[in-house]
Amino acid sequence: MTEKGEKTGPNTERLELAERRLRVATELVRFTKEVTTLGTIAVLIAL
């Protein structure tokens, strides 16, 4: 990496965007697993 952040240009922005999307996707997967687990527990309790 260079001292001037502006010098790196679009690739850096693209990398940051990709990292942000990956983080969001990871959180979404974790949330979905939790909801699925809670849903399963709720169904078992309901039965």
The answer to whether residue 16 is domain-embedded is: yes
Reported pTM: 0.59
The answer to whether residue 17 is domain-embedded is: yes
The answer to whether residue 3 is domain-embedded is: no
Angle at 39 between CA 36 and CA 43, to 5 degrees: 140
Look at residue 7 in the predicted model and tell me its pLDDT: 61
The answer to whether residue 4 is domain-embedded is: no
- Answer whether 34's CB lies under 8 Å from 26's CB: no
Q: Which domain holds residue 26?
A: 9-46
What pLDDT digit, counting tens, does each position of 13-44 carry? Answer: 999 999 999 999 999 999 999 999 999 999 99
The answer to whether residue 1 is domain-embedded is: no
7 vs 10, residue with greater confidence: 10
The alpha carbon of 6 is separated from its chain's Cα centroid by a whole number of angstroms, namely 26
What is d(CA 18, CA 47) in angstroms, rounded to the nearest whole number? 43
Provide the number of structural domains found in the chain: 1
Residue whose tokens read 């990709």: 18
Who contacts 5 (Cβ-Cβ below 8 Å, separation ≥6)? 12
